[in-house]
A = this chain, B = another copy of it.
């Protein structure tokens, strides 16, 4: 049975996150409902590169599933476009080797986080960026990043709820760009801990606003205690931008 890899995008606003939960509208449940419809009621299980939380968006989430259907990938894309709700879209479909696994075979992920800097909040951006109109010391933020990039134990930058034991992760790239009324943070790494990107953004904003100094970053890493880092920045600014495979 052919195995398919899909690159999908979704507006996370009206979802209770990616993963199936009873009684909740999730990306996975909507996707599996459409697959069941395409397969005349047969349940087709879908596996994603990882979960995203409620309100978090994706520009390039990846998932795989197996199906006996063999129409050309163009037709899969068209069928998904018609059948999926308007807040999810399938951008690419590829046939992959039987042993491909959307979660276990990732070699990295890119997340972006959008901060809106206009003085007044923008009703049209309320679900797509974090409105933060306060002055920011951009140089201090760049210096803080120099302490955080690379391989560290990120226990302090990870939700205390996490069950994962090994909290050492490598951030390969971490930077931000300013444009008009926005600041777009970019994070590339092999993998990220639960809430890690949002806590990193919250902490960088604390540095930018002077609540913390860039030098505090090594101390916070050393503490291995979530309570020392900044607040978790809200979900609506976060985008799973790209998932990398070999």
Identify the A interface with B (CB < 8 A).
Answer: 9-11, 57, 77, 81, 86-89, 91, 120-124, 126, 128
Contacts and interface: CB of A to CB of B under 8 A. Distances in A.
A72 B138 CA distance: 32
B91 A121 contact: no
17 contacts: A9-B124, A10-B123, A11-B124, A57-B124, A77-B120, A81-B120, A81-B121, A86-B123, A86-B126, A87-B123, A87-B126, A88-B123, A89-B121, A89-B122, A89-B123, A91-B120, A124-B128
A173 to B, nearest CB: 24
Contacts of A57: 124
Copies in the complex: 2
A88 B87 CA distance: 22
A163 B90 CA distance: 45
A86 B121 contact: yes
A46 B139 CA distance: 46
A189 to B, nearest CB: 25
A120 to B, nearest CB: 6
A88 B123 CA distance: 6
The 10 residue pairs across chains A and B that have the minimum distance between CB atoms: A86-B126, A11-B123, A87-B123, A89-B123, A11-B124, A10-B123, A9-B123, A89-B120, A88-B123, A89-B121
